[in-house]
Structure 1
Amino acid sequence: MKTHLPVQKAIAILSLLFLFFSANAQNAPYKPSATDMANAYLRAERLDTALRNIPTNNDIVPSWKKDGTAFWYKKNLPNKNWEYLYLNVVSGERKVAFDANKLVSGIEKSTAKTGINNLLRSTDLFFKDELTLKLKLDQKWYQVNLNDYSVNAVTDTSVYRYNPKSRLQQKHSRWAGSETFSRSPNGKNEIKIIGGNIVVVDLDTKAETVLSKDGSIEKPYSNFEWSPDGKHIIAYKTDPKEIKKVHYVLSSVQGTTRGVLKSREYAQPGDDFTSYQPYVFNLATKTVTKVDVEATNFFGPQPLHWRNNSSRYFTYEKADRGHQRFRVIEVDVETGKTKNIIDEKTKTFIYESRIYTRYLQKTNEIIYTSEQDGWQHIYLVNAISGKQQLITKGNWVVRDIDSVDVAKRQIWFRASGKNTNEDPYFIHYYRIGFDGKGLVNLTPEKGNHVLSFSPDRKYYIDTYSEVNIPPVTSLKLTANCKIVKELEQGGVQPFLQTGVKLPEVFVAKGRDGVTDIWGVVCKPSQMDSQKIYPIIEYIYAGPQDSFVPKSFLPASEMQSMAELGFIVVQIDGMGTANRSKAFHDVCWQNLADAGFTDRILWMKAMAAKYPNADINKIGVYGTSAGGQNSTGALLFHPEFYKAAVSACGCHDNRIDKQWWNEQWMGYPVGEHYAKQSNITNAAKLQGNLFLIVGEADENVPPESTYRLADALIKADKDFDILSIPGMGHSDGGIYGRRRKRDFFVRHLLNAEPPHTNLTPSK
């Protein structure tokens, strides 16, 4: 029998109405009552406390015996207890190093001190052997016989200290500049600066030889160094520039009735720097030659590296201001002529702080890292000809060099992105030959790794985890990477028993439709499947690194905030580091971009997967560069972001520190600085904004926030501001974090947080 058309339409309409109301019933916004919110705050506090009382042991730090046959380490236990374990690597035996109660009792009996248990958490503690312990308490040393726990004061304070995380080759900071060596290599002469000029004094006869006459008190010679044969002096004629100051007032110093003015040097983008012009002085002929190169006007003079068995040629590094050219320059001391051994140029930026250089004098070679092929890799450079040989290669990133074994011609380094089946930010450790052969992955297991070696590098301890997978720590043999003994393995069950939902990893395509953007998602432990929850993004888009956590993270501010009724996320968008050069270059003269296009696409894709995410209610918060980013979210993307909390933000890159901002925004300071300023764009504000600033911030000047407030006031915009007396560079501390939560509860949940003024002070 046929159904009449009107009946068919009625059924269809009723079906649509059912689906509509069903869908909306399942996706109704979470609207907590005042009681619900009070319970949520209490639950968040209790959960955070419970999680932090469960040990993670993310970072096992061993203390090795000098001969490398044994080590000990402190293991965290539940409820903030701890124990030491001792492992004999020869026999493989691991045991509890001592009975903590007996040790405490023995020390208290011998010293008449109390509270020893707390002191032992952070004291210097060393094993002479398995049964003899030496430790330092209140500046006094004691030796403990672990057979009977007898304690004796000792005057012999000699102990073997070895930091397993220290690098065999420390990276030189170019900000540190070069040392000045006044005494000649043979010890017979000494350099003095008199009236800004170089004078050489014969230490036997006290005779003085004046080598320069054009120096002055205003423009003196400085930063001098001898050639290895003592026949030449390299010095720099300086053109000093005063570093301008910034100021702040401490309003609430106890015992005063007036604000206390503080001032300090603080270079901002575009400020003048002292310049250094190199010269070579010949002691035999008493002549001076100006080196054929422009003055160094960014960083100070850098260390000199002489050719093997030669006092005629040296090289030094020069980074041009604006970070678009980096050179290793060779100088002929007899002529002053120069040659570029390395000359890297770019149209965007060279990330100078990531450049690693190691000078191998005996072979006249340089180990050098660069992004010149599109990815950060290691090069072997002939220090005479400049010829470069790529040691590592591929679409992955060398994160840092840990050490160089010159004898074996091997490089030990960290990298990420080489394992294509996992998160491209996970750090793994490798070694490789200078010739690019023999690559060995010391840490093949999936996860983010932290590694440390024994003193002789025969063994290493490897700890790896993921943001939602607890860490595993193993002792391994360096020769073959085989596991000698598994030391620790965390379990997920103690955390899940608290009710927490561990962070989830989510990946979506970026603005190019090809590149994967990685982030994490934190959800409330008591999320109602029939409700939708506002999204809050924790943002920090500083191009100096990547910031989404990769190691095990059951407890965090993000998780604690999620407990109030939010889905909290963190994302690394384009413009941050540790991916390809092209990925990083998005930030060039473009800090206002902050990867927002990628972040918005990521959150939309996340909301499509997670039906409990309310894509129409987006909040964002951040500190420092994240403070700049969170305010920028409201100014430049008001169609998406609705509420922001910005702590100690760098709201105008012209106000912030010179070195950081010129690295990404370039030099000279151009119109793009003003166009991207939150202060310049303050009148665009549409959403709800909460500014937090510490009056004693010495990282980002407080006036950065106050000038933004001034611009918002002049634009007749509503906003909240919290200035915290005495606070430095911070998110506001406990008070500021509570106010941040209250702000999001009011503006995204349309609810009232607990009224703390009605609660008696503790």
Structure 2
Amino acid sequence: MKYQKYSFYILLFFTSILTAQTEVISLEAIWNGEFRTDGMDALHSMSNGQQYAVLNFDRASRSTSIDLYDYNTLQKVKTLVSSSNLDEMAYFSDYNFSNDEQKIILVTNQEPIYRRSSLGDYYVYNILDKSLTLISEEKIQEPTFSPNGNKVAFVLNNNLFIKDLNSGKTTQVTFDGEKNKIINGITDWVYEEEFAFVRAFDWNADSNKIAYIRFDETNVPEFSMDVYGTDLYQTQQVFKYPKAGEQNSVVSLHIYDIETNETAEVKVGKSYNDFYIPRIKWTNNSDILSAQFMNRHQNELDLWMINAKSNSSNLVLAETDKAYIDVTDNLTFLKDNSFIWTSEKDGYNHIYHYNSNGELINQVTNGNWEVTDYYGYNDKTNSVFYQSVENGSINRDVYSIKLNGKKKTRLSNLNGTNDADFSADFSYFINTFSNASTPPKYTLNDAASGKVIRVIKDNQSLSNKLSNYKLSEKEFSTIAVNGNDLNMWMIKPADFDSSKQYPLFMTQYSGPGSQYVSNSWNGTNDYWYQFLAARGYIVICVDGRGTGFKGADFKKVTQKELGKYEVEDQIEAAKQIGNLPYIDAGRIGIWGWSYGGFMSSNCLFKGNDVFSMAIAVAPVTSWRFYDTIYTERYMTTPQENANGYDYNSPINHVDKLKGDFLLLHGSADDNVHVQNTMRLVEALIQADKQFDWAIYPDKNHGIYGGNTRLHLYKKMTEFIINNL
């Protein structure tokens, strides 16, 4: 009887599971935020190393606050500021502390400009007297405290300004700023997009000098986009956009002396013909500025130390590469003015320590694996903290190592994706962990041992919700393609039957240095793949040659031939998977967005005997249409490499189209212009090829806003169901 009772409860348990896992994901649920994860917004470690601040949103009062928490107890200590107590603003969306943490810059009413830039109303909140000061009556960009906290520098209408918080006086530093002509202290479009920064000015340690980059984009060709809006007549957005081979902004570096009110242009001891300044940063010495200069091909990078007093320069580091050099933000100056630097010069991205003159002291990390993030240096323990893929290229772990390269310690202990945010004194770190089956989990960890002290957030409510859904496992593996073991994942229908045949749907991005096969938690597209799997599709993703985190040679093999090796790998992978007994080789589709759309178009055209369907969203259709910095990094210029540009352009292969093709784009895409799609459409029409397409009015590269994203995915889903 006991055995029978036990069996009954087992049966009841499994019946409950089967009953619970009956819900199927809907597109509406994906795009209304049903599966949103809970995180820690705008985390800031306080300088005492014992407390941290986060930005919290109170849904009941619709207000935001900056709340202070204790690392050790995780208990809230106090609220530093809440918008519910501020008459001037209903909410704020971000914040920045002064170095002494007595003042906070708050922003509200932000308006996006491009991907990273925005305008906003900015205020300075004084924690001691609870006063609130508006920095400018007009919307401004990138307000930044001086190190002593007494001033704020910002950009308004392409000019640099400084506001004295004690006197209230605002001083205009530059006067020649003009839209589509001169920019001071803010990057132009192509720098923002491809060098990934907006603020092009920096305070020195003594708060008496500001270095800034000036962009003269007078001769950069303009691109214009119609903005249809709701008025009777459309308007136009006109901006400077240097396409491959065209003229860039002329950049110059300047140092403004606050005490003398004088500006000096920096002249380095080398003549550059056509160059970039992708990073500037003051050293610990208030008179020494570091600046990185890079040639147009981006295969030479020079690190200069510039003496602001004498206006002299010293070249301390010069790196070259047969392909290109990636710009990073890992330059760290130590107290003795030696510095930490990351480089791929041995074939993998690693950490190096140089003295102040640029002489190598030692290579800190070493091995056939990549450092993927640099967290900082603790001078008290002489330790460097970083993230790497030493535990497999689809995983991320947190490590510490002594500056001399010894005593390496793995601080994270779960396989998947680990990321760290260290306290200011490096005594604690907040670890964010996830993998393909575990939503983000935030834990407080000891920085010396990695030991978990407490769980902060675990997204258990999301796990509980998803337990009601019929979901499939994401299966990781490798596939041998064209002489390489490529990372891959596969999602099968939950009721998969190996005796049946299923259509295959491939997803990829494939761009240089990218990664889409990673052991991390779901993005929104992953829920869409679960949606498709529930409807009888097998979904796979393969990271081919040219993608990242497997060494420089693997990543840079595509140099001067974007779209050749990547397409070959996707076609061959599709052939191999198509040979599996449970795959219907006559029903293989592929899709991608941006670079992925460039790829999916090429795969359908060039692989017309393999792929029967493709979707391309906002695709590049010829690299001649894309910007200088990104394109020339991998392709040099069209004048130098015409065949590389044209041979792998989808526009030149439209005659090969046999399958079903869906082409989608936003008309206000400032990044990959809708021109790409229009030119491909015209080529398809002239080749007498039938296809489907749609333009989303006034939508940018992300194609979102209101009901847009849901509509887009409904359209793609319908196309897949009807054609695959």
> Structure with the greater relative contact order (CA < 8 A, sep ≥ 6): 1 or 2?
1
Q: Residue 558 of structure 1 aligns to a residue in which SS?
A: helix
1:125, 1:136 within 8 Å by CA — same for their partners in 2? Answer: no
> Are 2:550 and 1:562 aligned?
no
- Contact 1:426–1:447 at 8 Å: present in 2 too? yes
Q: Corresponding residue for 1:637?
A: 607
The residue matched to 2:625 in structure 1 has which SS? coil
Alpha-carbon spacing, 1:387–1:561, altered in 2? closer, same or farther (3 Å)? same
CA distance in 2 between counterparts of 1:227 and 1:64 reads: 22
- Calculate percent identity across the aligned residue pairs: 23
Distance 2:713 2:603 in 1: 20
Classify 1:571/1:395 alpha carbon distance in 2 versus 1 (closer, same or farther; 3 Å).
same
Larger deviation, residues 239-248 vs 52-61 = 52-61
CA distance in 2, matches of 1:692, 1:674: 22
Judged with a 3 Å threshold, the aligned counterparts in structure 2 of structure 1 residues 67 and 720 are, in CA distance, closer, same or farther, namely same
Residue 54 of structure 1, CA deviation: 6.3
Partner of 1:582 in structure 2?
Answer: 553
Instruction: Rate the CA distance shift 1:606–1:388 in 2: closer, same or farther, 3 A.
Output: farther
Q: Which residue of 1 aligns with 2:299?
A: 324
Structure 2 Cα separation of the partners of residues 194 and 725 of structure 1? 37
Taking the aligned partners of 1:131 and 1:345, their CA distance within structure 2 comes to 50
The match for 1:370 among 338, 343, 357 is: 343
What is the Cα deviation at residue 295 of structure 1?
Answer: 2.8
Give ranges in structure 1 of 5+ residues lacking alignment: 1-41, 75-83, 85-115, 143-153, 160-168, 170-178, 183-189, 197-222, 749-762
Question: Cα gap change, 1:526/1:577 in structure 2, threshold over 3 Å: closer, same or farther?
Answer: same
Where structure 2 has 5 or more consecutive residues not aligned to the other structure, the ranges are 1-22, 70-74, 91-126, 133-146, 148-158, 163-170, 178-199
For residues 409 and 652 of structure 1, do their structure 2 counterparts lie closer, same or farther at Cα, with a shift above 3 Å needed? same
Name 1:689's counterpart in structure 2: 661
Classify 1:623/1:120 alpha carbon distance in 2 versus 1 (closer, same or farther; 3 Å). farther
Distance 1:595 1:530 in 2: 32
User: Cα gap change, 1:121/1:613 in structure 2, threshold over 3 Å: closer, same or farther?
Assistant: farther
Q: Could you tell me whether the CA contact under 8 Å between 2:352 and 2:360 is conserved in 1?
A: no
After superposition, the C-alpha distances for 1:453-497 in whole angstroms (9 at most, x for unaligned) are 345432223232321245554332223222223455567676344
Asked if 2 retains the 8 angstrom alpha-carbon contact of 1:623 and 1:730, the reply is no
Residues in 2 aligned to 1:504 and 1:710: alpha-carbon distance in whole angstroms? 40
Instruction: Tell me how far apart the structure 2 counterparts of residues 59 and 194 of structure 1 sit (CA, whole Å).
Output: 40
Amino acid at match of 1:480: S
SS in 1 for 2:466: helix
SS of the aligned residue for 1:299 comes to strand
Q: Which AA in structure 1 matches 2:332? A: R
Say yes or no: does 1:573 pair with 2:544.
yes
Which residue of 536, 546, 549 corresponds with 2:505? 536
What is the Cα deviation at residue 701 of structure 1? 0.9
Question: Where does residue 475 of structure 2 map in the other structure?
Answer: 504
Shift of residue 638, structure 1, vs aligned partner: 1.8
AA at the equivalent of 2:645: Y
For the Cα contact (< 8 Å) 1:50–1:498, is it kept in 2?
no
- Give the deviation of 1:733 after TM superposition: 2.0
2:615–2:661 Cα contact (<8 Å) kept: yes
**Matched residue, 1:435:** 404
Query: Is residue 118 of structure 1 aligned with residue 59 of structure 2?
Result: yes
Are residues 303 and 747 of structure 1, via their aligned partners in 2, closer, same or farther at CA, if it must alter by over 3 Å?
A: closer
Q: Determine the structure 2 residue equivalent to 1:674.
A: 646
Q: Which residue of 1 aligns with 2:678?
A: 706
| 3-state secondary structure, aligned to 2:650 | coil
Question: In 1, Cα distance between the equivalents of 2:341 and 2:223?
Answer: 37
Cα 1:508–1:60 shift into 2, 3 Å: farther
CA distance in 1, matches of 2:682, 2:442: 53
Structure 1 counterpart of 2:245: 270
Cα distance change of structure 1 residues 475 and 51 upon mapping to structure 2, 3 Å threshold: farther
Distance 1:667 1:122 in 2: 50
Q: Which amino acid aligns with 1:458?
A: S
Residue of structure 2 in register with 1:595 after alignment: 566
CA deviation string 1:587-640 (max 9, x = no partner): 21122136233334444554566x432233211111111111111111222222
Distance 1:276 1:139, change over 3 A: closer
2:426 pairs with one of 431, 436, 457: 457
**1:472 & 1:277 partners in 2: Cα distance?**
45
Partner of 2:332: 358
Answer whether contact 2:605 2:653 (CA < 8 A) is retained: yes
SS at match of 2:599: helix
Q: Is the 8 A contact 1:692 1:721 kept in 2?
A: yes
- Superposition pairs of residues 149-548 of structure 1, within 5 angstroms: 241-251=218-228, 253-256=229-232, 258-275=233-250, 291-295=268-272, 297-300=274-277, 303=280, 316-329=291-304, 340-352=315-327, 354=328, 356-360=330-334, 362-384=335-357, 386-387=359-360, 389-416=362-389, 418-419=390-391, 423-487=392-456, 495-512=466-483, 515-527=484-496, 529-548=498-517
Q: What is the alpha-carbon distance in structure 2 between the residues aligned to residue 237 and residue 117 of structure 1?
A: 41
* TM score, norm. by length of structure 2: 0.70
Alpha-carbon distance in 2 for matches of 1:673, 1:490: 46
Structure-2 separation of matches of 1:500 and 1:224: 49
- Per the TM alignment, residue 320 of structure 1 is displaced from its structure 2 partner at its CA by 0.9
Report how far residue 408 of structure 1 moved.
Answer: 3.9
Distance 1:335 1:55 in 2: 54
Q: 1:646 maps to which residue?
A: 616
Is the 1:276–1:301 Cα contact (8 Å) retained in structure 2? no
1:745 aligns with 2:721: yes
Distance (Å, rounded) in 2 between the aligned partners of 1:48 and 1:228: 50
Deviations 1:374-393 (A, max 9, x none): 10001112232533521100
CA displacement at 1:505 relative to structure 2: 1.8
Structure 1 pair 356–593 and aligned structure 2 pair: CA distance change class (3 A): farther
Is residue 137 of structure 1 aligned with residue 84 of structure 2? Answer: yes
CA pair 472-60 structure 1, distance change in 2 beyond 3 A: farther
- Aligned residues, how many? 591
Deviation per CA, 1:520-557: give whole Å up to 9, x if none. 22233344554311111112112142123422329522
Assess if the C-alpha contact under 8 Å between 1:648 and 1:692 holds in 2. yes
The structure-2 alpha-carbon separation of the partners of 1:724 and 1:413, relative to structure 1 and needing over 3 Å to count, comes to same
- Report the Cα distance in structure 2 between the residues aligned to 1:668 and 1:339, rounded to whole angstroms: 34
1:652–1:679 contact (8 Å) kept in structure 2: yes
